[in-house]
Structure 1
Amino acid sequence: MSDLWFFLILVTTTFLVAGFVKGVIGLGLPTVAVGLLGLVMTPGEAATLLVVPSLVTNLWQLLAGPRFGGLARRLWPMLLAICLGTWAGSGLLTHGPAGRATAALGLALALYALLGLTRLQLRVSAQWERPLSPLIGAATGLVTAATGVFVLPAVPYVQALGFDKDGLIQALGLSFTVSTLALAAGLGHDGAFDAATIVRSALAVLPALAGMGIGQWVRRRVRPTLFRTCFFAGLLALGADLMLRGL
């Protein structure tokens, strides 16, 4: 099998699975995609393939709700800090030792999986939201710059803000969109996201959207709680494997 066909099969399969997960539970595309691709390439290379499909699917998720303006006004301190943290950590993913980046990616996936399996119900009061938002954003940006995954600590924090279901999905879409743009800017600054890479990343859009469509169809027919448990258990195993590979 030629390298081109291997690449096409790898990208199609990975983003079909990642899009399916996102379609069922509303998140997980970048986490699954970078995690699976990290088994056969460096996290930096995986992150470059993630940018375009992540941006397209997250914009879809963001624009599906009616509350963009209100969410942007509420979350802007966190969103700005995500950008600053990502840019401050620029180079960690592409210029650091590959083993260290792989281990960091595995640790991030494992921690996220453990949070999902324990189902902690955190709550952040209004008086703590303003001082916490920029700190959470900066930490998320640094994790994004180091691993290519932008779920920690932003996702559990946003979940703790008390949004209803539709508001939460849109808020996560906004956070992921900003994180994706910041990651793309950082990768571009490091010379890792050029025109050829954009084309390769764009090839993943169709399987990601197809996977999302299938996942949304399945979500109406299965118990999402059972699927979430299986997803986080698999993510924990994937994270542990990546940590061992990196070490």
Structure 2
Amino acid sequence: MSEILFTDPALVLVATLVFLTAGVIKGLVGFGLPTIGLGLMTVFVGVEAAMVLILWPAFLTNFWQGLFGGHLRSLLSRLWPFLISSVLMLGAGTLILTKLPEGAADVLLGLLMIAYAVPLLAGALLVLPARLTTPVGIVTGLVNGVLAGLTGSYTVPGVMYLQAIGLPRDQLIQAMGLLFLLSTLALGASLGSFGLVGGREAIASLALCIPALSGVWLGQTIRRKVSEAAFRRLVLAAILALGLYLLPLGAWRLMA
């Protein structure tokens, strides 16, 4: 896979554009890079190779987003049960990935995203009482870990939970970064244990950090001009768009 990526100019251009676009969306709403990068690159290099390619771009962008937002200590003290449970279950999701038909996980994830975003965009409110933050966080983390291992996307239902506990925009962005950073590390370890990560594959992934980080910078520049209310609707719209993207993509893979 890495040999093809480095020697095929057309594939190099495609990968660069995919990760630049994914980076812009991540910089704008705080997530989306693994989902978009994995979904599009799978068409060209297959799902397992695509999951390897997203590792370094996902790690570096999430390292930046998760550790340098100014709220690290307070977020860790509040969210550690959710974060730990998500990491612990990611390996199980990767194992299930090797057993399921290709595309099944994308269909499931797409349906969940659509079912979440549509009612909230229509005006429904999802608020989690403070007394339920920890137990619901643990359950949500377990489900998020399995789906992350299955799909390479760390968004559902983790972002839904972080929105439901009422985090302000800057804290929400950093909390998503922490979830994605820890999940990326766990995914890399899990893929390595299954023999899916080699030295040349890691170099190919590292090279794609340049367009990904450039896109994140551009997306963040745009985000600073958006109000808090508009930002929350933008997040929901992005979740809906990702769901509408994953649903037919997964169905197409199932039928292929």
How does the TM-score come out when normalised to structure 2?
0.85
| Aligned ranges 1:37-76 → 2 under 5 Å | 37-76=41-80
Counterpart contact for 2:117–2:237, Cα < 8 Å: no
Per-residue deviation at 1:85?
0.6
SS in structure 1 opposite 2:31?
Answer: coil
Q: Give yes or no for the alignment of 1:238 onto 2:239.
A: no
How big is each residue's C-alpha offset from its partner over 1:167-215, in whole Å with a ceiling of 9 and x where there is no partner?
Answer: 1111111111111111111101101112221111111101011111222
Q: Which amino acid counterpart does residue 192 of structure 2 have in structure 1?
A: G
SS in structure 1 opposite 2:103?
Answer: helix
How big is each residue's C-alpha offset from its partner over 1:31-55, in whole Å with a ceiling of 9 and x where there is no partner?
Answer: 2111222333432222111111011
Counterpart contact for 1:82–1:140, Cα < 8 Å: yes
Counterpart contact for 1:106–1:243, Cα < 8 Å: yes
1:32 is aligned to 36
Per-residue deviation at 1:7?
2.8
Q: Which runs of 5+ in 1 are unaligned?
A: none
Q: Give yes or no for the alignment of 1:107 onto 2:111.
A: no
Q: How far, CA to CA, are the matches of 2:42 and 2:108 in structure 1?
A: 13
Q: Which runs of 4+ in 1 moved over 6 A?
A: none
How big is each residue's C-alpha offset from its partner over 1:29-86, in whole Å with a ceiling of 9 and x where there is no partner?
Answer: 1121112223334322221111110111111111231221221122111111112111
Per-residue deviation at 1:226?
7.8
1:210 is aligned to 214
2:190 is aligned to 186
Counterpart contact for 1:104–1:243, Cα < 8 Å: yes
Q: How far, CA to CA, are the matches of 2:187 and 2:135 in structure 1?
A: 24
Selected match of 1:6 from 4, 10, 15: 10
Selected match of 1:171 from 172, 175, 181: 175
Q: Rate the CA distance shift 1:224–1:135 in 2: closer, same or farther, 3 A.
A: closer
How big is each residue's C-alpha offset from its partner over 1:62-113, in whole Å with a ceiling of 9 and x where there is no partner?
Answer: 12312212211221111111121112233333x335xx23231243134324
Q: Which amino acid counterpart does residue 139 of structure 1 have in structure 2?
A: V
Counterpart contact for 2:30–2:173, Cα < 8 Å: yes
RMSD across aligned positions (CA): 2.4
Q: Which amino acid counterpart does residue 82 of structure 2 have in structure 1?
A: M
Q: How far, CA to CA, are the matches of 1:118 and 1:238 in structure 2?
A: 18
SS in structure 2 opposite 1:151?
Answer: coil
1:18 is aligned to 22
Aligned length: 244
SS in structure 1 opposite 2:78?
Answer: helix
Q: Which runs of 5+ in 2 are unaligned?
A: none
1:77 is aligned to 81
Percentage identity across aligned positions?
33
Q: How far, CA to CA, are the matches of 2:18 and 2:77 in structure 1?
A: 35
Per-residue deviation at 1:236?
3.6
Could you tell which deviates more after superposition, 134-143 or 108-117? 108-117
SS in structure 2 opposite 1:123?
Answer: coil
Q: How far, CA to CA, are the matches of 1:154 and 1:124 in structure 2?
A: 13
Per-residue deviation at 1:153?
0.9
Could you tell which deviates more after superposition, 61-70 or 222-231? 222-231
SS in structure 2 opposite 1:112?
Answer: helix
Per-residue deviation at 1:22?
1.2
SS in structure 1 opposite 2:195?
Answer: coil
